[in-house]
Chains A and B, each alone.
Chain A
Amino acid sequence: MTHEIPKIAIVGSPNVGKSVTFGCLTGRYVTVSNYPGTTVEVARGHAKIGGVNYEVIDTPGLYSIFPATEEERVALNLLCETRPDIVIHVIDAKNLERMLPLTFQLKKLGLNLILVLNMLDEAQALGQTINTSKLSDELGIPVIATVAITKQGTDQLQDAIQKQHEDGIRTHEHHPVPQFSEIMMRRWYGRAREIAGRVLIKTERSRVFSRFDRALVHPATGIPILAAVMYFFLYKFVGEFGAGTVVDICETGFEDHINPWITKIADSYVPWEVIKELIVGEYGIITLGIRYAVAIILPIVGLFFLAFAIIEDSGYLPRLALLLDSSFKKIGLSGRAIIPMVLGLGCDTMATMVTRTLPTRRERFIATMLLTLCIPCSAQIGVILGLLSTTPNVLLIWLVIIFGIFAFVGAVSARLLPGTRPSFVMEIPPMRLPQWKNVLTKTFARMEWYFKEIVPLFMIASVLIWLLKVTRAFDMVTRWIATPLAAMGLPASAAKAFIFGFFRRDYGAAGLYDLHKSGAFTNNQLLVAVVVLTLFLPCITQFLITIKERGWKIGLAISIFVLGFAFSSGVILNIILSAMNISL
């Protein structure tokens, strides 16, 4: 045995519960949802089993060792490069026959396997009984049945790992990934069918395709359901309740209690005016940076993630993909792209990572561009809904404009970009009742991630603005921005919001929130400012992720295009409004 700690990799088809199994072994939470492609990156954790420390690696879903998408490639590369000592192949117990071919393929790569039949409860509910010991004999590898979500079977899995380890991890010869061949695949499926025939007893047939399932995917009923989901979750819950009520409470609390308190402390302990300005001034780290992050952005994002987690875990999103596939084809995407798009309404950075699940470069490019340009993240939506709640006209026009630009830019890029029409193939998991524990854990995990992302950024923004102020460069920057602002018909005071917007567009929107409260805008100006900031670059993190995922050339090109597009839209909108003499 080498000094390196042994590695366990968890692999399997999408949406079979790899991440839950990972959680069972390591106690670490990684996002778990009810749709294929939740995990797009490798996650690592540690587990101590039978006194031995292991590194446990969770991988994105993999249908076969012949990858079709980026995230499948991530999983396969891990297997080939890291060469884990033990590989846990998790399968959906109710689909034994369809899932076993991957076991054969993994065996062919010379990996040391343990087979986990997860979701045994669902298989049992369908009247299936699986003889696991017989299956183990047939395959020549340990087979463990689990219900990972309730931790059932974890002990047995740990025992199996321990036994595998004690038996001395056999160093199989690693075989390279063979060429794809239909004949080979047919042979594997044939064997899977034979083995399933011997170990599986079925009494009843299949899950029913209920009226409800049908209603979700038929346009006549599906579109109204989608509208209702958007209205209640996004508008009522995140917008009215979150950005209205909750933010009000948090803001008032912050301004009435924390700001005066911290200002008092600063007044009595910090003798230098300049430093005081940095901490509690107009753009102070606490009075502005932390206040925006904690009192405005976080409650909205938190509520969005909560609503989103419920939707995700129910299994609604893949059905939405099916419903909207034909519409998405018109903008060069397939229904699969609905998942990054909806996720983008939560956070564009996360969504940009998830574009990996799209099969072609063309789709990944279009999706990234549309996310960067016109999918506002939850923080921004919340702030905008709060900002425009008193002027429903402006809100409606904003919605129409952004939707129009989304459709227009998508349709144009679908036409201009070379490449073939995307095709749509997606596994649709059963609808499941969201588990409160997972919903809450996921919401908090995402809030924590988000908080860690934004707080440093907000603080850096405060420091930079403070530096600009101290060096008097702030006025200069304001003057530079004043010209394009004037072209959009906006007052010079809006410069502040746009400077913020360069850090994060929701930060910019939050800046508008303050400005609007002080009555700086007419409704026309408000519309222009909101539209431009919606189209703005999402944030520095998203920019970096775009570069990481798409390469710096495309990343930079998208950013320049988006900036130019945002400003020109503002100018054109202003011209139209004044030419037609519209006053909202």
Chain B
Amino acid sequence: MILSESAEEMLEALWLEYEANKRTDCVLSKLRESPDARTLKELSDAGIIVCKNPDHASVTEKGLAEARDAIRRHRLAERLLTDVLSVKGELMHDTACQFEHHLHKGIDVSVCTLLGHPKVCPHGKPIPPGRCCEEESKTVKPAVSPLSSLKPGDLGQIAYLYTADPKRAQMLISMGVIPGADVKLLAGFPSFLFELGESQFAIDGDVAREIYVRRNSAA
């Protein structure tokens, strides 16, 4: 279902309310954002809310699922922006608000997988799990996690580098640590030792936390 941006913002506000009070009834004027008449109509037409009187509404079951997905997209967008694109602070929030609208069905799954099915947003709020996350927890499907979280013997493929220092990314890429390359962790203590092609590289924990690897299920 494609809703307007303001309707999506409303969905998020409804979810926040539900998250806080565990109730589907709400007072519209007390929400984070109070809707204008047009948005309200859009939401009730879509069967997301049922308006009891001008200020009271109740979220339908379908509406709750939509709200959950909306907040999931928002928080995934925040994760993507902070973890991969290193966008910070105020800018991150504003960008996330625009970004989330592009994360519709399918894309949110790719982003979630890319990020390794994160559980919380950068502010520590839970990201409602999607179907991809449930499947992930049942079968160990390729997921993205930092090299530092691998165990010796684990195999994987470099997914992306997330370094605070662009010089360091340049150095790693020059050495061959490039997305798509196959790696195998050989030792994780006291520092990290991994195999790439026929070479071995030693890195410290800080660097190992910046190399994200898509884990191969056959370890």
Q: Interface of A with B (CB < 8 Å)? A: 63-64, 66, 68, 92, 94-95, 97-98, 101, 123, 126, 180, 182, 185-186, 189-190, 193, 206-207, 209, 213-214, 217-219, 318, 321-323, 325-326, 329, 334-335, 359, 420-421, 423-430
Whole-angstrom distance between the alpha carbons of A101 and B174 in the complex?
A: 9
Judging by beta carbons under 8 Å apart, are A425 and B172 in contact?
yes
CB distance from B24 to the nearest CB of A (A): 47
| Interface SS majority for chain B | mixed
Chain B interface size, as a band, is 20 to 34
Judging by beta carbons under 8 Å apart, are A94 and B190 in contact?
no
CB distance from B31 to the nearest CB of A (A): 42
Q: Interface of B with A (CB < 8 Å)? A: 165, 167-176, 178-181, 186-187, 189-191, 193, 195-204, 206-207
Judging by beta carbons under 8 Å apart, are A423 and B176 in contact?
no
Chain B residues lying within 8 Å of A182, measured Cβ to Cβ, are: 169, 173
- Offer 8 A-B interface pairs, CB within 8 angstroms, sorted by A: A63-B174, A95-B176, A185-B178, A207-B198, A214-B186, A325-B191, A423-B165, A425-B168
Chain B residues lying within 8 Å of A318, measured Cβ to Cβ, are: 202
Chain B residues lying within 8 Å of A97, measured Cβ to Cβ, are: 197
Judging by beta carbons under 8 Å apart, are A326 and B191 in contact?
yes
Whole-angstrom distance between the alpha carbons of A182 and B168 in the complex?
A: 12
Whole-angstrom distance between the alpha carbons of A379 and B63 in the complex?
A: 81
Judging by beta carbons under 8 Å apart, are B199 and A95 in contact?
yes
Contact of B195 among A209, A219, A321, A426 (CB under 8 A): A209
Judging by beta carbons under 8 Å apart, are A189 and B180 in contact?
yes
Contact of B198 among A126, A323, A325 (CB under 8 A): A126
Whole-angstrom distance between the alpha carbons of A206 and B193 in the complex?
A: 15
Judging by beta carbons under 8 Å apart, are B202 and A322 in contact?
yes
Q: Which B residue's beta carbon lies closest to that of A96?
A: B197
Chain A residues lying within 8 Å of B198, measured Cβ to Cβ, are: 92, 94-95, 123, 126, 206-207
Contact of A217 among B169, B187, B195 (CB under 8 A): B187
CB distance from A92 to the nearest CB of B (A): 8
Whole-angstrom distance between the alpha carbons of A318 and B197 in the complex?
A: 18
Beyond A64-B170, A430-B200, 12 additional contacts (C-beta under 8 Å) are A95-B176, A95-B197, A95-B199, A98-B181, A186-B179, A189-B176, A209-B200, A219-B190, A423-B204, A425-B171, A425-B175, A427-B202
Judging by beta carbons under 8 Å apart, are B196 and A98 in contact?
yes
CB distance from A257 to the nearest CB of B (A): 52
Contact of A186 among B178, B190, B197, B201 (CB under 8 A): B178
Judging by beta carbons under 8 Å apart, are B186 and A209 in contact?
yes
Judging by beta carbons under 8 Å apart, are B201 and A218 in contact?
no
Judging by beta carbons under 8 Å apart, are A214 and B187 in contact?
yes
Chain B residues lying within 8 Å of A321, measured Cβ to Cβ, are: 202
Judging by beta carbons under 8 Å apart, are A325 and B193 in contact?
no
Judging by beta carbons under 8 Å apart, are B197 and A98 in contact?
yes
Chain B residues lying within 8 Å of A426, measured Cβ to Cβ, are: 201-203
Whole-angstrom distance between the alpha carbons of A459 and B201 in the complex?
A: 47
Chain B residues lying within 8 Å of A126, measured Cβ to Cβ, are: 198
Do A189 and B178 contact each other (CB < 8 Å), given the known contacts A95-B197, A334-B204, A425-B203?
Answer: yes
Chain B residues lying within 8 Å of A218, measured Cβ to Cβ, are: 187, 189-190
Do A423 and B170 contact each other (CB < 8 Å), given the known contacts A186-B179, A206-B198?
Answer: no
Judging by beta carbons under 8 Å apart, are B193 and A428 in contact?
yes
Judging by beta carbons under 8 Å apart, are A424 and B202 in contact?
yes
CB distance from A66 to the nearest CB of B (A): 6
CB distance from A145 to the nearest CB of B (A): 16
Judging by beta carbons under 8 Å apart, are B202 and A423 in contact?
no
Chain A residues lying within 8 Å of B199, measured Cβ to Cβ, are: 92, 95, 98, 427-429
Chain A residues lying within 8 Å of B171, measured Cβ to Cβ, are: 63, 68, 359, 425
CB distance from B187 to the nearest CB of A (A): 6
Judging by beta carbons under 8 Å apart, are A325 and B202 in contact?
yes
Do A424 and B190 contact each other (CB < 8 Å), given the known contacts A98-B176, A359-B171?
Answer: no
Contact of A424 among B167, B181, B203 (CB under 8 A): B203
CB distance from B33 to the nearest CB of A (A): 38
Contact of A64 among B174, B197, B200 (CB under 8 A): B174
Whole-angstrom distance between the alpha carbons of A217 and B178 in the complex?
A: 25
Whole-angstrom distance between the alpha carbons of A66 and B176 in the complex?
A: 13
Chain A residues lying within 8 Å of B172, measured Cβ to Cβ, are: 425
CB distance from B205 to the nearest CB of A (A): 8
Q: Which A residue's beta carbon lies closest to that of B190?
A: A326
Contact of B191 among A190, A421, A424 (CB under 8 A): A424
Q: Which B residue's beta carbon lies closest to that of A209?
A: B186
Q: Which B residue's beta carbon lies closest to that of A219?
A: B190
Judging by beta carbons under 8 Å apart, are B170 and A66 in contact?
yes
Whole-angstrom distance between the alpha carbons of A95 and B170 in the complex?
A: 20
Chain A residues lying within 8 Å of B176, measured Cβ to Cβ, are: 95, 98, 101, 189
Judging by beta carbons under 8 Å apart, are A427 and B187 in contact?
no
